[in-house]
Amino acid sequence: MDVIEVRGLTKRYGEQQALDGLDLDVRRGEVLALLGPNGAGKTTTLETMEGFRRADSGTVRVLGIDPWRAPRRHRERVGIVLQEPLGSGELTVDELLRATATCYRQPWDLDVLLDAVGLTGQRRQRIKALSGGQRRRLDVALGVLGRPELLFLDEPTTGLDPEVRRALWRLIRRLADTGTTILLTTHYLDEAERLADRVAVLIAGRLADLDTPSALRRRGREATVHWTECGHPCSLVTSAPTRTVAELAARLGGEIPDLVVARPSLEDTYLHLVGEHA
């Protein structure tokens, strides 16, 4: 069974059509990255799946249940990490986690959880004194405290420096490897490429494309072969780069000076999709 099933989802805010017949499935155990420009409907999609917002029409099933009418037991199976951190700045990390753990029947052991998110050394520290990266790790710890089957991550690394971003990437992959299904929204294409099993591109409230990162990179895009010949830089855009390299090697006697085969990136494909719809 898919963890999330969305069919024909629509939502309007006055004259603005936020979602326009969205269909989307999230498979059990996968990391799905939801991409799209500002105003594409990502936030509305997440809030509807999380049970915070009611759609105008269509159906949403999260773990087999309509999230808008979900009972408490269902909500314990879902973890949420919002884009903006929560309050409770005067509490220590340990105090906040212990208080939140009382909401769950089988929460994580706090020693194990703090070690997993890299906050053991900050256990007695007040939340308001944490750095941005430490606070984001705490947000993830709160999101997974109840051992959720499904985890929503809304822009988890926005505003963080590269070192902290990569530390959170390792944590997210670790969660995925233990069987947690993860729906991730991000504006970072390298983040989606590194973490996601599949990528969904949302544009103007509709699903523009859905596939693995590698398949999206290859879709309808040509490679560029660069080399040097007779002292001059050369390049050729081609849909058959392997054949082009073989022909060059035959003509140049084996070695091809300064050979580079530049294949389309996920960012290239994403910008091409956004440009088409624009």
The domain locations on the chain are 4-211, 218-277
Give the Cα separation of 153 and 133 in Å (integer): 15
3-state DSSP call for residue 144? helix
Q: Which residue has the tokens 């490429």?
A: 193
CB 75 within 8 A of CB 63: no
The pLDDT tens digits of the residues spanning 120-138 come to 999 999 999 998 888 888 9
Residue 86, pLDDT above cutoff 70? no
| Domain 4-211 indexed as CATH 3.40.50.300 | yes
CB 76 within 8 A of CB 51: no
Residue 103: how many other CB atoms lie within 10 Å: 12
pLDDT at 89: 75
Distances (CA, A) of 207 to 8, 19, 22, 46, 66: 11, 10, 6, 14, 21
Look up the pTM and report it: 0.84
Characterize the bridge pairing of strands 31-35 and 198-203: parallel
CB 179 within 8 A of CB 107: no
pLDDT band at 165, cuts 50/70/90? Answer: confident
Q: Which residue has the tokens 């693995």?
A: 212
Residue 195, pLDDT above cutoff 90? yes
Give the Cα separation of 130 and 100 in Å (integer): 18
